[in-house]
Amino acid sequence: MEDRAHSSLVALRRILRASEAAAREMARQTQLSTPQLVVLQIVHEAEEATPKAISQRAGIAQATATALLDKLERRGFVTRRRGETDRRQVWIALTEAGREAVRAAPDPLQDRFTERFLELPDWEQAMIMAALERVAGLLDAEALDAAPVLHVGALAPDDLEHR
């Protein structure tokens, strides 16, 4: 039984290393962290989005989305504008630099995973999902704020801000 626990930990480390390597490569090519790119992709798909919609779609807290948007705005990737009918509402849109960053981004690890995962039969998808949720529970990670991307804390958004 200890061999299974050891093998499981090795598999988890491989997943984390693959995620970190993909995040480093993407950051090297785009000068963006994975969460920043996810936000840009969400806005790109929607053309315009509110911070609340972005946070919901990314699976992160609204405060986290706002912090990411602040950094992206400072770097000239997004703009904010007040709603015309409701001035309290803020709309986010990409600048030309933001659109170019999305176009230039390499095929991220999560896209490869999603493509391959969706090719699996339903029963296998459900099995993998259940196993991963169980692993999250074993690690007391159910309540952690996590975007639906394969990203580990190796690259914090601030790490890229100074490049």
What tens digit of pLDDT does each residue of 85-143 get?
888 899 999 999 999 999 888 776 878 898 999 999 999 999 999 999 999 999 988 77
Residue 161 has pLDDT above 50, yes or no: no
* Strands ordered across the beta sheet of 90-94: 48-49, 90-94, 78-82
| Angle at 71 (CA atoms; ends 66, 72), nearest 5 degrees | 95
- pLDDT tens, 3-48? 999 999 999 999 989 888 888 888 888 888 888 999 999 999 999 9
Q: pLDDT-derived band of residue 145, with 50, 70 and 90 as boundaries?
A: low
Confidence class for position 156, pLDDT limits 50, 70, 90: very low
Per-residue pLDDT reduced to its tens digit, 59-81: 899 999 999 999 999 999 999 99
- pLDDT at 25 (0 to 100): 84
Task: Report the length, in residues, of the chain.
Answer: 163
Residue 158 to residues 38, 58, 100, 155: CA-CA distances in angstroms? 16, 19, 21, 8
CB 159 within 8 A of CB 33: yes
Q: Does position 157 have pLDDT exceeding 80, yes or no?
A: no
